[in-house]
Amino acid sequence: MSVEVWTTLLVILSFMLYLYIGWRSRVRDSKGFFVAGQGVPALANGAATAADWMSAASFISMAGLISFLGYDGSIYLMGWTGGYVLLALLLAPYLRKFGKYTVPDFVGYRYYSNIARVVAVIAAIFVSMTYVAGQMRGVGIVFSRFLQVDISTGVVIGMVIVGFFSVLGGMKGITWTQVAQYCVLIVAYLIPAVAISLLLTNNPIPQVAFTFSDIVPKLNQLQLDLGFQEYTKPFVNKSMLDVLFIAIALMVGTAGLPHVIVRFYTVTDVRSARYSAGWALLFIALLYTTAPALATFARYNLISTLHNHTIQEIQQLDWAKKWENTKLLTFEDKNGDGIIQLTPDKKTSEIGIDPDIIVLSTPEVAKLAPWVIALVAAGGLAAALSTASGLLLVISSSVAHDIYYRMINPNASESLRVMVGRIMVGFAIAIAGYCGINPPGFVAQVVAFAFGLAAASFFPIIILGVFDKRTNREGAIAGMLAGLIFTCYYILGVKFYGMQPWFFGVSAEGIGTLGMAINFAVTWSVSRLTPPPPVEVQEMVELLRTPGDEPPAIDELDEEHLD
């Protein structure tokens, strides 16, 4: 069977599985819709969190980026895993104990203020919208590359699938589909990695081959011969301070992303929240420790297959021709000697490689069977769809739960609340789909926003909300605003208005770290200059800290404490 037939078959099979799970887990009540009835076991929540977290970017782009950045690519590896330690130790257990539905919910109650709630809602929606547009785009690209439908059709198919299980099943449907999607995506990632590892090093375990075989020393030598820096040499593309700031911003941003945090509301108790963070990171680590191995294998393989070969030789390679057609791989014999050479300088280099093709082309480069190539396509779709669905639910619950139920119509019945939730999911899908089909030109540039803003807004005030009883409404609002405004100003200035990165050359991606520090400082000092929070709120914090007692009776906080 051809690659196209296999791909169609595997994609349809995996989609039918997601639809079936969505149908089986349809819900009627708001607790089921927003937090899956708080009945998800730790292990399942770990897998769901891993799929929720690993997006099209992790699956398709990350290994490629690392293979171009060498050591400096470690910021993504550490940044997107280290945050789970912060999440597991500082946030997840307490938010689970709090036991409500959303992140703005916690902010609103802890800081007895609807202003704080609204600031949190806006930040949550903004962060999630930026992120989800990229996911829908990823769905469209995978469809167009592997199945030759155009990107718009691909996006619409993706919208229908996500729409079905998230409108019907809410968080419950999303959770169990994400578990299935994790299985699909991890198998799809590992099989080609194992195969190329065997091919190059005779060792089937990529992590072991990466560490103990001679592939990296050989790659280092190859890079030096071509005039590049050694692959393992640190701080080639970014300064040490910039690497440090970006790594911290990504870690803290990860811990502050609402679609990740909200997953910990769905487990059965505080103890499960602690363990499921561990399972989540273990599942993520499976892919994240494979990615740097894959990055070196693919780079070594590409250089040795392409460099110093004649154009005729390269054109006999089937996969090289296929990728050349997509313009993501280009050859041009600039000095006219009939031989293709790779050089560090873009102007003289005769090979152009887009980082995105590293993962997608590996199975073909390693001459694997067509069904493996098809599996990679299905895996890419699983990664994009699972992340998109988690984000859509955050957007829906922010509007349906925090704005509509908490602020506009507190007397809304169960069925009305679920109905508003479903409508908002549909609405968010439509906007996300539109952005996927007509991507605003700045999408790639605003990704820095999602992490920077999550780091500078949520993270400090949630931590202080649990660990410092004295933190009050005034401090939290001032801190969130200060962090958000500073970070926005710096990112917008550097990315769009040609401002010099004046803070010691720290780039827009890393400035969220400073924004977070500002938020901490402002929240702490303003809280100490203004009256302490009401006694009920201090008692609630006390209860959050001990897992065993009754959950805090926040519903008894009467309306006069909510401004």
Give the residues lining the site for another protein (CB under 8 A): 66, 71, 73-74, 77-78, 81-82, 84-86, 88-90, 93, 207, 210-217, 232, 234, 240, 243-244, 247-248, 251, 269-271, 274-275, 277-278, 281-282, 285, 288-289, 292, 467, 542, 545-549, 551
Residue 310, SS3 per DSSP:
strand
Q: State how far the alpha carbon of 380 is from the alpha carbons of 151, 179, 213, in Å.
A: 15, 15, 29
Distances (CA, A) of 120 to 256, 462, 477, 552: 11, 11, 9, 21
Cβ at position 254, least distance to another protein in Å: 11
State the minimum distance, in angstroms, from the CB of residue 268 to another protein: 8
Is the Cβ–Cβ distance between 360 and 60 less than 8 Å?
A: yes
CA-CA-CA-CA torsion sign (92, 280, 484, 244) = positive
Task: Indicate the residue among 281 and 374 with the shorter CB distance to another protein.
Answer: 281
151 vs 246, beta carbon nearer another protein: 246
Asked if residue 182 lies in contact with residue 405, where contact means CB atoms within 8 angstroms, the answer is no
What is residue 230's DSSP assignment? P
Closer residue to another protein in complex, CB, 113/254: 254
| 560: exposed, middle or buried (Cβ count in 10 Å: 0-12, 13-18, 19+) | exposed
Cβ closer to another protein: 78 or 118? Answer: 78
Q: How far is the CB of 390 from another protein (least distance, A)?
A: 20
Least CB distance to another protein at residue 362 (A): 18
Tell me 340's DSSP state.
E
We find the least distance from the C-beta atom of residue 452 to another protein, in angstroms, to be 18
- Name the burial class of residue 451, with classes exposed (0-12), middle (13-18) and buried (19+) by CB atoms within 10 angstroms of its CB: buried
Rounded alpha-carbon distances, angstroms, from residue 91 to 131, 256, 263, 323, 328? 22, 9, 12, 44, 41
Pairing state of beta strands 309-310 and 339-340? antiparallel
With respect to another protein, which residue has the nearer C-beta, 134 or 206?
206
Q: Minimum distance from CB of 20 to another protein (Å)?
A: 32
Nearer to another protein, 278 or 501 (CB): 278
CA terminus-to-terminus distance, the chain: 65
DSSP 267: B
CB of 47 to another protein, least distance (A): 15
Q: What angle do CA 178, 184, 189 make, to 5 degrees?
A: 120
Which of 278/426 has CB closer to another protein? 278
Smaller CB separation from another protein, 225 or 549: 549
Q: Which of 98/288 has CB closer to another protein?
A: 288
Which residue, 48 or 381, has its beta carbon nearer to another protein? 48
Q: Which of 387, 274, 365, 309 is nearest to 46 (CA)?
A: 274
What are the CA-CA distances from residue 368 to residues 156, 319, 376, 450 (Å)? Answer: 30, 11, 11, 37
In whole angstroms, how close is the CB of 107 to another protein at the nearest point?
22
CB of 179 to another protein, least distance (A): 19
- Tokens representing 377? 């396509």
Minimum distance of another protein from residue 229's CB (angstroms): 13
- Using the minimum distance from each CB to another protein, give the nearer residue, 161 or 219: 219
Q: What is the DSSP letter of 550?
A: P
Q: Which of residues 46 and 363 has its CB atom nearest to another protein in the complex?
A: 46
Contacting residues for 277 by C-beta, under 8 A, at least 6 apart: 46, 49, 84, 87, 88, 92, 264
Residue 415 or 538 having the CB closest to another protein: 538
Contacts of 550 (CB under 8 A, 6+ apart): 543
Q: Residue 269 Cβ, how far from another protein at the closest point, in Å?
A: 5
**In angstroms, what is the minimal distance from the CB of 397 to another protein?**
23
Judged by beta carbon, residue 211 or residue 315, the one nearer another protein is 211
**Range list of H helices, 148-263:** 151-201, 206-212, 215-225, 240-256, 258-261
Give the residue from 429, 430, 432, 374 showing the smallest Cα distance to 14: 374
Alpha carbon distance 274, 85 (integer Å): 10
For the chain, what is the radius of gyration of the CA atoms?
24
Nearest-approach distance from CB 93 to another protein, in angstroms: 8
The 3-state DSSP composition of the chain as helix, strand, coil percent (nearest 5) reads 75, 0, 20
- Please report how close the Cβ of residue 199 comes to another protein at its closest, in angstroms: 18
Residue 103 structure tokens: 């992140």
